Amino acid sequence: MKKKLIIANWKMNLSIRQGVKNIQTLYRECAKKKSKNTLVLCPDFTTLSCVSHFLKEKKKLFSLGAQDCFYESRGTYTGEISPQNLKELGCDYVIIGHSERRMILQESSDTISKKIHQAIFCGLIPIVCVGEQKLLSQKQGNNFLEKQILVSLNHISLSPSQSIVIAYEPVWAIGTGTSYHASCDPILLKTKIDFLKTIMLKKFGVHLAKRVSYIYGGSVTSKTSHAFIKEGTADGLLVGTASLDLKEFNEIIDSIV
């Protein structure tokens, strides 16, 4: 199987002490695994700076990602997070446009588009989240997704060494816990990924489209993870709640071999 992306989004759930402890535990466990997949851990900003210190001299067993960044790298922007500094901390990835930010902080696709540009400029791989707020008819859902993608990726260009990740995260499937039926059906996921691929190819051309990975997020558990990859054709997973439980998260990692 092609190398898959498994991304943990810890959101704002852990204390710094818990986050650092989880990273140290996962580091020891990853050292024992033979997984060829790419594991990305996205703790909150305060934890990121502590773990980057811990990981500095060590062999790279996983990548670090941030949960957001600002659309400028330097300047008088009180409270914002520079993508350039994230790169300096050792991040390779940054989540942009998560539905919690779109809804709670009213982040628009225009703002998200600027963040994506700046993240790419700073050498980060953006994990761009898209997804409908509620279950819609196929036509309505596709129209919604197309608009979200086109505005978010407005004027995007990638050099041959750059890539982006599109995370299909239907909002209705996020944070529902461990119920299989509350997450997206893998067959429905396949139709969404096919649609996103068609849009990317049509609007951005073959050179850009081939540097995009399509992943799924929304109540992923160790029981459903394999199906999203196999039947859902996802290139990877964005895992929230289940990534906080290290036993469960390890089972997710082991389910994708």
Instruction: Work out how close the CB of 230 gets to ligand PGA at its nearest, in angstroms, rounded to a whole number.
Output: 19
Residue 64 binds to ligand PGA (criterion: CB under 6 A): no
Site track for ligand PGA across 151-170, x = CB under 6 A: ------------------x-
Instruction: Specify the residue, 71 or 172, whose C-beta has the smaller distance to ligand PGA.
Output: 172
DSSP 85-125: HHHHHTEEEEEES-HHHHHHS---HHHHHHHHHHHHHTT-E
Contacts of ligand PGA in 124-153 (CB under 6 A): none
Looking at beta carbons, which residue is closest to ligand PGA? 240
Touching ligand PGA, residues 215-244 (CB under 6 A) = 217-220, 238-242
> Cβ of residue 7: shortest distance to ligand PGA, in angstroms?
8
CA distance 5 to 16: 25
Residue 68: CB minimum distance to ligand PGA, A: 12
User: What Cα–Cα distance (Å) separates residue 25 from each residue in 21, 58, 182?
Assistant: 6, 14, 30
Number of residues in contact with ligand PGA under rule CB under 6 A? 13
What CA–CA distance (Å, rounded) separates 40 from 91?
Answer: 9
Question: CB-wise, 43 or 84, nearer to ligand PGA?
Answer: 43
DSSP state of 184: P
- Find the shortest distance in angstroms from Cβ 157 to ligand PGA: 27
Phi, psi of 128, deg, nearest 5: -90, 120
Q: Examine the residue annotation and report whether 98 is marked as an active-site residue of this protein.
A: yes
Q: Is 174 in the site for ligand PGA (CB under 6 A)?
A: yes
In the complex, the smallest distance separating the C-beta of residue 152 from ligand PGA, rounded to whole angstroms, is 16
Catalytic residue among 100, 107, 132, 169: 169
State which of positions 2-21 bind ligand PGA (CB under 6 A): 9
| Cβ distance to ligand PGA smaller for residue 145 or 239 | 239
- The residues, ordered by sequence, that sit 6+ positions from 34 with a Cβ below 8 Å of its Cβ are none
**Can you point out the beta strands (E) in the chain?**
5-9, 38-42, 63-66, 91-96, 125-130, 164-168, 212-217, 236-239
Residue 109 backbone dihedrals phi, psi, to 5 degrees: -65, -30
What is the CB neighbour count within 10 angstroms for residue 160? 7
Please state, in angstroms and rounded to a whole number, the distance separating the CA atoms of residues 115 and 129. 12
Shortest Cβ distance from residue 163 to ligand PGA (Å)?
19
Surface-to-core class of residue 221, CB atoms within 10 Å of its CB (0-12 exposed, 13-18 middle, 19+ buried)? buried
- Degrees to nearest 5, angle at CA 242 with 237 and 248: 100
Residue 169 is a catalytic residue: yes
Nearer Cβ to ligand PGA (204/228): 228
Selected binder of ligand PGA within 110, 157, 175, 194 (CB under 6 A): 175
Q: Which residues bind ligand PGA (CB under 6 A)?
A: 9, 169, 174-175, 217-220, 238-242
Which residues are identified as catalytic? 98, 169
